[in-house]
Amino acid sequence: MLTLSVPAPADLGTEVLGVLEGSTLELQVRLEAVVEGVLASGVVQARLVGECVRCLEPIEQDVSVEFQELYAYPDSDVEDDEASRLEGDLLDLESTVRDAVILSLPFQPLCRVDCPGLCVRCGVRLADEPEHRHEAEIDPRWSALARFVAEEGSTEVDAPDELSPDENSTDDRDEGAGSSGDRT
Ligand SMILES: [Zn+2]
Ligand SMILES: [Zn+2]
């Protein structure tokens, strides 16, 4: 097992989460000679930085991602989409590590799985203020109107009783349609 510390390449991540360029990647790599070439497998440890897509809180987390890639001899029969190629005696571990790290990233990183996000009215981070509410904020100059709206609402509630005969006649029509269907 080979242990390497290498600086992270640029653009190792997505727009919302990734490894800072130049920060340390710790690699543990095992190289095995196989018939077709060299099988490289191992683990990369990196520090991810980014922000929560719901509340924009900064995120920092250490990840450890496994990878495995076959590096085939240049003259091997292995298809190109199944393996990388050895270039002379060198293998390009960077693209393998890059693919493994990027594939492991969540599409929508969150500061915590149940992050409640931000208040849509004022932008407060709801995780910081679980009791955050806006309901008691009617301007006193509007309170008369609010009461008026409430009274209007109550007259509308009475209305369906006056309409109930119509509802019955609708039922009659439905039955009529049913029986005419039987006749044909
Ligand atoms: Zn969050
Ligand atoms: Zn708010």
**Mean of the pLDDT values across residues 45-64?**
96
pLDDT tens digit sequence for 118-156: 999 999 999 999 999 887 666 666 666 666 666 666 555
Q: Which ligand is nearest to the CA of 111?
A: 1
**Residue 124 has what pLDDT?**
94
* Residue 58 alpha carbon to ligand 1 centre in Å: 8
Q: Which residues surround ligand 2, an ion (CB under 5 A)?
A: 119, 121-122, 124
Cβ-in-10-Å burial (0-12, 13-18, 19+) of 63 comes to middle
Instruction: For the full predicted model, state whether its pTM sits above 0.85.
Output: no
Nearest to 105 by CA among 59, 69, 68, 70: 59
**Residue 134 has what pLDDT?**
86
- Which DSSP category does 149 fall into? H
Pairing of strands 84-85, 58-72: parallel
First and final C-alpha spacing in the chain: 85
Within 8 A by CB and 6+ apart from 82, the residues are: 70
**Mean of the pLDDT values across residues 102-107?**
93
